[in-house]
Amino acid sequence: MPQRIRKLIGTVLLLLLVVFWALSAMALAQGRVTQLGWFLQLISYTLLGALWVIPAGLLIRWMERPDRKV
């Protein structure tokens, strides 16, 4: 698959990932996280805000992979 197509697909997937992650994090934060103590809330919010970087980084690495030489 050419890199140009991978970037198009990856861009759409990144947008979907961010929207899905944000909605999921908000749902978790409104439900269960508010019942925790302040320290566990701090850890939860930090993890919910930062863990989306891992799948996004893997997706970006896939997008930037050079084309195969034929």
Contact at 8 Å (CB) between 67 and 2? yes
Sorted by sequence, the CB contacts under 8 Å of residue 56 that are 6+ apart come out as 14, 17, 18
Decide if pLDDT at 70 tops 80.
no
Listed residue (69, 57, 63) closest to 4, CA to CA: 63
Taking the CB of residue 7, how many other CB atoms lie within 10 A of it?
Answer: 14
Residue spans of the domains in the chain: they are 3-64
Query: Which tens digits make up the pLDDT trace of 39-69?
Result: 999 999 999 899 999 999 999 999 999 888 8
